[in-house]
Amino acid sequence: MPVHSKSSFDYLAHLKEAGEMGNLIYSANWSNTSLGNADTWPQNLLTALDIILRSKFPMFLWWGPQLIQFYNDTYKTTLEKLNKHPKALGARAQDCWPEVWLAIEPSIEMAMAGNKMLEQEDQLIPKQQDGHPANSFWVFNCSQLYDLEGKVCGLLVTFYESNSQKKSEHQIYDTLRQLAEREARFRSLLADAPVAIAVFKGRELIIETVNEKMLEVWGKHATIIGKPLKVAIPELEGQGFLEIMDEVYTSGTPYYGNEVKVFLIHSHKTEEVYSNLVYQPLKNSKGKTDRIMLVANLITEQVKAKLRVEKSEKRFRALINALPQMAMTSTIKGKMTYFNKRWYDYTGLNPTEAYGSKWLKVIHSDDLHETLRKYNLIRSGHEGGEFENRYRSAEGTYRWHLNRMQPVQEDGIVGLWIVTATDIHDLKQLQQQKDDFVSIAGHELKTPITSLSAFMQLITRLQKHPETDFLPTLIEKASRSLDKINILVDDLLIASKLNQGELYIKKNWFTISELIEDCCNHLKIEGIYSIKATGDLNLKVYADPHRIDQVIINFVNNARNYAPESKEIIVDIQKIKNKAKVSVIDQGPGIPRDQIPHLFNRYYRGDKSRSQYSGLGLGLYISSEIIKKHDGEIGAESELGNGSSFWFTLPID
């Protein structure tokens, strides 16, 4: 049975050929009615007219809110007997049927509202016949017609006088009318439906009916009608659909699928198609499934777009999680939407604990106000920015981080902010140490330079009197100040070389005890401290004697400065397996245990309140780097009140 389309079929010309009433409808001027010109009528109205005009049974149609009336040739005879033809064509229902309108109006309104259908049998209606009142019984039946939005747009009506001898005939007419209405309604639905529809007959799934939308989805022509589905679309084999439909047929249970993927061949090319679908079993009068209806809503582009977004988001999250820094994303309104794994690992929180604004609790309370101020300030613009704050770790400690915010823009509009937090705690401490070092260096250099300047001024004044006894003392003190300056400058130069990787080692064989004897002459000259070498005094090592000399002098000077009451400094030499261990031991006050791990750090200075000497905090650091370049080890051992031992090892082989 063909399905008409307005784009390819002149429906009005077709209706003109449908009997006398068809010609009247075609010729009438409809522009003054609520329906407007006939060439603007909707397809479902034209389809309904096609049904009633070609029917051999009396039928008429009420259409639109005003219930504009149409009827066929068979019903025209009834209207002629009632003196209602031809004025009944195009008239409103209530104008054409005033004698029955009060009786049927409530039911008609309910039917137009979509609540229920109107069906009245043997309804008593008063009328006038040959000028005398008379009563008769009538049969009314209204069937609702729907538009594509599911609203009632018209009623198909049978309205005839019910004489007892004609009741059975009327019942037949009514049954046939209902069948015609159902078929017409299905044909209209199939042709105009925005979704793909097909009906399969029998367990073999013979394609019985299919609309154009479904043919487009399949990439096939109407020639497949009448063929089994597996023959018409062989690529369905192995995809599971034929098995599902067989289960629907045998069980009588519908099957619903969302975002179902199917591979179909279009123009010799396999394409991926997605749809929401239902396989609906259709049952015969005996309650047995004999057909299956397939209704599919094609959503390929939507699903592929969603998959692209999901893939892009998955890739984005993989990149975010691959970052060594903590990272998070924020909406333009400031809501944090994602934290990477590094963030959760560092803070020890889980997604529930970080939800909403809870994540702010990991920011140090002293930094929170400034963090929010800068965060909102950057977010109010279109360019990135940065700020520093402290985040609490899972262990409860706070570390400094540098936060960088960068916008993600599309067509010049910011849609997302990416925030990374880089740990700068060690750098922050190093910067503080550098700042302290600059202050200390300035102070340490200024003291001997000031003394040297004063001594030189006095020497200049006394140079005309060289015989004075005070002059040698001034020269000796000036020399000591100059030595202090040289030591400080040497430490700075060596530290600089270490930073640049330019401290070179030149190794030779030498005896450690002989090096100790030569390197500590400055203490012997003072006559206050004594250096005593113990242990294996004949032990030789292969190392850079000049650099090892620096290490020993640093250790000895450290013992003198921080243990001034320990007048004897012991340098012990031992061979332990394939290593030489040199220890500088004093009997001073000792070092607090919490300071020992930091003694060899750059710029670290111990508790100077225990010593009149401070220095730059570079001596032990330089010693550590020299020993590392010799592949040795360095360390310190101490107990408060029991002195200290600074030691290093050198490989002998």
Please give the pLDDT value at position 279.
92
The pLDDT value given to residue 634: 93
Fold adopted by 504-651: Heat Shock Protein 90 (3.30.565)
Model confidence band, residue 241 (pLDDT cutoffs 50, 70, 90): very high
What integer pLDDT is reported at residue 534 of this predicted model?
Answer: 93
What is the pLDDT at residue 250? 93
Distance CA 207, CA 228 (A): 6
Q: What average pLDDT does range 560-572 have in this prediction? A: 80
Q: Comparing C-alpha atoms, which of 7, 4, 87 is closest to residue 44?
A: 4
Radius of gyration, alpha carbons of the chain? 52
Give how far Cα 328 sits from Cα of 229, 336, 344, 346, 386, Å: 52, 7, 10, 13, 14
pLDDT grade, residue 230 (50/70/90)? very high
What's the pLDDT score for residue 160?
A: 61
pLDDT band at 336 (very low <50, low <70, confident <90, very high): confident
Please tell me the class of the 429-495 domain. Answer: mainly alpha
Residue 82: is its pLDDT beyond 60?
A: yes
Please tell me the least confidently modeled range out of 597-601, 611-615, 646-650. 611-615
CATH code of the domain made up of 310-422: 3.30.450.20
- Is pLDDT at 526 greater than 70 in this prediction? no
Confidence check: pLDDT of 256 > 60: yes
Query: Domain residue spans in the chain?
Result: 11-163, 194-304, 310-422, 429-495, 504-651
Please indicate whether residue 173 or residue 482 has the higher confidence score (pLDDT).
482
pLDDT for res 7: 45
The continuous run of DSSP H or E covering 497 comes out as helix 470-499
Angle (CA) 181 182 185, round 5°: 80
What's the whole-number mean pLDDT along residues 49-76? 88
The overall pTM is greater than 0.85: no
Check residue 483 and give its pLDDT: 60
pLDDT over 60 (residue 168): no
Pick the most confident of 121-125, 130-134, 172-176, 227-231: 227-231
Under 8 Å between Cβ of 296 and 196:
yes
In the prediction, which pLDDT does 131 show? 47
Express each pLDDT in 291-333 by its tens digit.
999 888 888 888 888 888 778 778 878 888 888 888 888 888 8
pLDDT band at 5 (very low <50, low <70, confident <90, very high): very low
At position 102, the amino acid (one-letter code) is L
How far apart are alpha carbons 89 and 93 in whole angstroms?
10
Residue 128 has what pLDDT? 47
pLDDT for 486: 63
pLDDT tens profile 483-520? 656 665 666 556 555 555 556 678 889 999 988 887 76
What integer pLDDT is reported at residue 234 of this predicted model? 92
Look at residues 122, 106, 104, 115 and name the one whose alpha carbon lies nearest to residue 144: 115
**Which residues, listed in sequence order, are joined to residue 402 by a DSSP beta bridge?**
388, 422
Summarize pLDDT for 190-227 with one digit per residue, the tens: 666 668 888 999 999 999 888 888 888 898 888 999 99
- Report how far residue 291's alpha carbon sits from residue 202's, in angstroms, rounded to the nearest whole number: 6
User: pLDDT tens across 460-493, in order?
Assistant: 666 666 666 666 666 666 665 566 566 656 665 5
Give residue 395's pLDDT band: very low, low, confident or very high (50, 70, 90).
Answer: very high
Q: What is the pLDDT of residue 240?
A: 92
Q: Is the pLDDT of residue 538 over 90?
A: yes
Is the predicted pLDDT of residue 185 greater than 90, yes or no?
Answer: no
Cis preceding-peptide flag for 466 (omega within 30 of 0): no
- Tell me the CATH number for domain 11-163: 3.30.450.20
Q: What is the pLDDT of residue 15?
A: 82
Helix (H, G, I), strand (E, B) or coil at 151: coil
Tokens found for residue 489:
């400058």
Say if residues 166 and 158 touch (Cβ distance below 8 Å): no
Output the CA torsion 574→575→579→582 (10° steps). Answer: 10
Of 533, 509, 511, 651, the closest CA to residue 581 belongs to: 651
* CATH class of domain segment(s) 194-304: alpha beta
Q: What is the pLDDT of residues 415-461, one digit of tens each?
A: 788 898 988 888 877 776 666 555 555 545 555 666 666 657 666 66
Q: Give yes or no for residue 613 having a pLDDT over 50.
A: no
* Same fold for the pair 310-422 and 504-651: no
Which 3 state secondary structure label does DSSP give 559?
A: helix
What pLDDT score was predicted for residue 402? 92
Q: Which of 143, 163, 139 is nearest to 153 (CA)?
A: 143
pLDDT(169) > 60: no
Higher pLDDT, 144 or 604: 144
